[in-house]
Amino acid sequence: MKALILAGGYGTRLWPLSRKNYPKQFLQLTGNLSLLQQTVDRLLGIVSTENIVVMTNNEYKFHVLSDLKALLNTHSPMPHAPCHSPFAHSSMPFAIILEPACRNTAPAIALGVKYCLEKLGCEKEEVLFISPSDHVIASIDQFKEYVRQAEVIAKEGYIVTFGIKPTRPETGYGYIKTSMEHGAKSKGYFKVEQFTEKPDLETAKKYIDEGNYYWNSGMFAFSMGTIIDEFQKHAPDIHEMLDKNFDEMINRFIQMPEISIDYSIMEKSDRVVSLPLDIYWNDIGSWDSLCELLQKDEQGNIKNGDVIAIDTTNTMIIGNNRLIATIGLEDSLVIETSDAILIAKKGQAQKVKEIVKSLSMANRKEAAEHVTTYRPWGSYTVLEEGERYKIKRVVVNPRERLSLQLHYHRSEHWVVVRGTAKVTIGETERLVHENESAYISKSTIHRLENPGKVPLEIIEVQNGEYLGEDDIVRIDDHYGRK
């Protein structure tokens, strides 16, 4: 069995913590592992590393690589096999595929199937398990047994959906309606009658009362031959792409329809069954969902950061840099980041997407960008900016380096705060230590490296008529960026 993890989503429903440039699958929301790392970690008990394929995009490539590398360091040493993706420039025991464009889950899954058949040498009879990268699942041993059971069912020619037994009338999830009279009930699965959209509260209550509705988890299992047949029957434009080789499919991927696997296959196929999972599952699709997971104090509050809460109950307060003080709040959400604060009533968190939409329409950078931006070599944080100047804190990880580059419109002044920097300016190369500095004038070729074993931290002061991140001409880059 192969496992395909979908890790290319933008995940803005947890704004302002999750944004397009650093979405929730890379956040550590429930412990010391990111949601992507948790997903991979629980699958490692079912399949080996070489049987895990991660689907993402070029924008998130280095986030994925960083998470996988860190996860491997927590496990026993594993042999590294070259990644087959033509885009990823790293050796990993996992396969990584980069979607050339966002085309929703149906084209992504089709591309993953083609990769498994052509690059991994799979037979059409082999089962492929599909998993999102940003869900939380408890009872891991029981979950593994469900996946093994789904593999057996999928080999019978079925498309297996993983339905979650509802615990409440939830309006934030889609539902799966199952047949109450299907003969396979004794085998633990049910024929799917209908996929339904997110209901209103009264409809959700009705679903719970009827007893044959399950939350749609977005996890599936099927043999590759079965899904190819269903693409041919219900999505011929996608099946046409499957007739091409992998490289051709990549080159023409943007021509694929933008459609989910639910709409293209699941709602039309007569081969779909549901395997009910009676375990804790949460897609963390909103701040309300996250509230379920985190530990509460005696007043029912969740507090993270420098928080003082007076006469405050059943409230989640997540802080970053500031002291947050509340008085008299009840059933509320307070989420603070370096550049934005969200304050909402519980039960209204699904409307966060309206805020992101409004910010996007106004071309506000807060819609997609954090104050801290992550790069394959480390990160930088904008501390202050104004007309003709910008001040950053730059952190370069051990043994990493920025590209050899130049800027036409700005000069830069670097002051080392921590660690030792190896600085190239023109034809000169030298080491710069703590409390020492280097100056780079406009249009001068330069590079910053960290040759040491601890993170390098510098303060960078930019000055010039244009300070945009696109004023970078890369001459050479270790990470293959243009």
Question: Mind listing the pLDDT tens digit for each residue in 284-313?
Answer: 989 999 998 899 999 999 999 999 999 999
Instruction: Give the angle 320-326-330 at the CA atoms, nearest 5°.
Output: 110
**What ranges do the domains of the chain cover?**
2-282, 287-351, 372-476
Q: Which residues contact 234 (CB under 8 A, 6 or more apart)?
A: 264, 265, 268, 269
Residue 51, C-beta contacts closer than 8 angstroms, at least 6 positions apart: 1, 2, 3
Q: What pLDDT shows up at residue 220?
A: 96
| Domain 372-476: homologous superfamily in CATH | Jelly Rolls (2.60.120.10)
Q: What is the pLDDT of residue 78?
A: 45
What's the pLDDT band for 76 if we cut at 50, 70, 90? low
Kindly report, residue by residue over 339-348, the tens digit of the pLDDT.
999 999 998 8
pLDDT-derived band at 354, boundaries 50, 70, 90: very high
Among candidate residues 145, 365, 357, 123, the one with its CA nearest the CA of residue 228 = 123
Residue 144: pLDDT band with limits 50, 70, 90: very high
Q: Are 283 and 300 in contact (CB under 8 A)?
A: no
- Spell out the residues 6+ positions from residue 243 whose beta carbon is closer than 8 angstroms to its own: none
Q: Which of 261, 252, 167 is nearest to 205 (CA)?
A: 167
Identify the pLDDT of residue 232.
97
Alpha carbon 376 to chain centroid, angstroms: 16
Q: In whole angstroms, what separates CA 204 from the centre of its chain?
A: 28
Partners of 422 in beta bridges: 431, 449
Residue with structure tokens 């429903």?
13
For residues 33, 36, 38 and 41, what is the CA-based torsion angle, rounded to 10 degrees?
Answer: -110
**3-state DSSP call for residue 31?**
coil
Closest by CA to 344, choosing from 318, 378, 377, 382, is 318
> What is the C-alpha to C-alpha distance for residues 319 and 336, in angstroms, rounded to an integer?
5
Q: Please tell me the predicted confidence (pLDDT) of residue 64.
A: 94
Q: What is the model's pLDDT at position 126?
A: 97
Whether 258 has a pLDDT exceeding 50, the answer reads: yes
d(CA 184, CA 182): 5
Q: pLDDT at position 181, please?
A: 61
Q: What is the pLDDT of residue 80?
A: 44
Is 48:369 a contact under the CB 8 Å cutoff?
A: no
What is the pLDDT of the chain when averaged over all its residues?
A: 92
Confidence of residue 91 (pLDDT cuts 50, 70, 90): low
Question: Is-contact 276 163, C-beta < 8 A?
Answer: yes
Within this chain, domains 2-282 and 372-476 share the same CATH topology: no
Eight-class DSSP state of 262: I
- Which of the four pLDDT bands, split at 50, 70 and 90, describes residue 349? confident
Model-level pTM greater than 0.75?
yes
**Which residues, including other chains, have CB under 8 Å from residue 308's CB and lie 6 or more apart?**
323, 324, 325, 326
Bridge partner residues of 214 (DSSP): 176
- Dihedral of CA atoms 217, 351, 293, 132 in degrees, nearest 10, equals 30
Half-sphere exposure (CA, 13 Å, Cβ side) for 121?
A: 1
Say if residue 85's pLDDT is above 80: no
Residue 264 · residue 238 · CB < 8 Å: yes
Q: What is the residue whose two structure tokens read 């293959």? A: 480
* pLDDT at residue 92, as a whole number: 67
pLDDT for residue 455 is more than 90: yes
Residue 38 has pLDDT above 70, yes or no: yes
Does the structure show a pLDDT above 90 at 259?
A: yes
| pLDDT value, residue 114 | 97
Element (H, E) at 379: strand 378-386
Q: Specify burial of residue 422 (Cβ count, 10 A radius: 0-12, 13-18, 19+).
A: middle
Burial (CB count within 10 angstroms: exposed 0-12, middle 13-18, buried 19+), residue 258: exposed
User: What is the structure's pLDDT at 183?
Assistant: 47
Each residue of 210-220: pLDDT tens digit? Answer: 988 999 999 99
User: Is pLDDT above 80 for 22?
Assistant: yes
Q: What is the mean pLDDT of residues 327-343?
A: 96
Taking only Cα atoms into account, the Rg of the chain, rounded to an integer number of angstroms, comes to: 25
Tell me which residue has tokens 């819609």.
Answer: 367
Residue 30 has pLDDT above 50, yes or no: yes
Q: Which CATH architecture has domain 2-282?
A: Alpha-Beta Complex (3.90)
* Residue 82 predicted with pLDDT over 70: no
